[in-house]
Chain A
Amino acid sequence: AQTVTQSQPEMSVQEAETVTLSCTYDTSENNYYLFWYKQPPSRQMILVIRQEAYKQQNATENRFSVNFQKAAKSFSLKISDSQLGDTAMYFCAFTVYNQGGKLIFGQGTELSVKP
């Protein structure tokens, strides 16, 4: 079975500090993509960052970066210089290449950034 586990249901961080959200996954496939999605209180789900499994280099997008450990099947998200607008539900997800793009999601981590 393909699964994604986010073990931190809730987290909080002070504004301007750094926070790391954890994610582990399980698949027997070798070609897949990993994602972090953000869902602010307004509910529109948006992509934060994407990682192709065949790439060893960790993806970065401005203040967002990942630590991708393929052997350990771990995919954590680091948010640097946290801002109030980062307050949201964050979902880790993956899709196997050539399986139609179906996403397998984790349970989500609710992040609160405090002023």
Chain B
Amino acid sequence: DVKVTQSSRYLVKRTGEKVFLECVQDMDHENMFWYRQDPGLGLRLIYFSYDVKMKEKGDIPEGYSVSREKKERFSLILESASTNQTSMYLCATLRREQGIYEQYFGPGTRLTVT
């Protein structure tokens, strides 16, 4: 079974703090993703990575950065947290083999910025 873990289920931070959200996968998948989930908006892609040290912006990258130093770990960084970044953050990996194309998701981190 694919396992995608996220460092925290719930996180409360203050405005202006630097925030790190960590995601680790155990299946040697090349592609990893960070999504943000908001009610009525579904999930929106923030950033994704297709290899170590390789990244690409998604639809809403403003205010975020990412780091992928090792294949199994993909970090989302909020350089200076703001209240409009209060949201649920989901990490995912991509299985792409033998005609199967499927994303596996972590449990999510609910971030509150006060």
Q: Closest A-chain residue to B99, C-beta based?
A: A52
Question: What does the 1/0 interface line of A86-97 toward B look like (CB < 8 Å)?
Answer: 000001010101
Q: Closest B-chain residue to A103, C-beta based?
A: B103
Q: Which residues of B contact A (CB under 8 A)?
A: 31, 33, 35, 40-45, 48, 50, 56, 58, 88, 90, 92, 94, 96, 99, 101-103, 105, 107-108
Q: Closest A-chain residue to B110, C-beta based?
A: A43
Inter-chain contact A105/B108, CB cutoff 8 Å: no
Bound complex: CA A37 to CA B43 (Å): 11
Bound complex: CA A37 to CA B37 (Å): 14
B58 touches which of A9, A42, A102 (Cβ 8 Å)? A102
Q: Taking A37-B105, A43-B107, A93-B43 as given, write out 15 further A-B residue pairs in contact, using a Cβ cutoff of 8 Å, ordered by the A residue number.
A: A6-B42, A9-B40, A33-B101, A44-B108, A91-B42, A100-B31, A100-B50, A101-B33, A102-B48, A103-B43, A103-B45, A105-B42, A107-B40, A107-B42, A108-B42
A95 touches which of B42, B50, B101, B107 (Cβ 8 Å)? B101
Listed A/B pairs (26) with beta-carbon separation below 8 Å: A4-B42, A33-B101, A37-B105, A43-B88, A45-B108, A47-B102, A50-B101, A50-B102, A52-B99, A91-B42, A93-B43, A95-B101, A100-B31, A100-B56, A101-B48, A101-B101, A102-B58, A103-B43, A103-B103, A105-B35, A105-B42, A105-B44, A106-B42, A107-B40, A107-B41, A108-B42
A42 CB to nearest B CB, Å: 8
Q: Which residues of A contact B (CB under 8 A)?
A: 4, 6, 9, 33, 35, 37, 42-47, 50, 52, 91, 93, 95, 97, 100-103, 105-108
A61 CB to nearest B CB, Å: 13
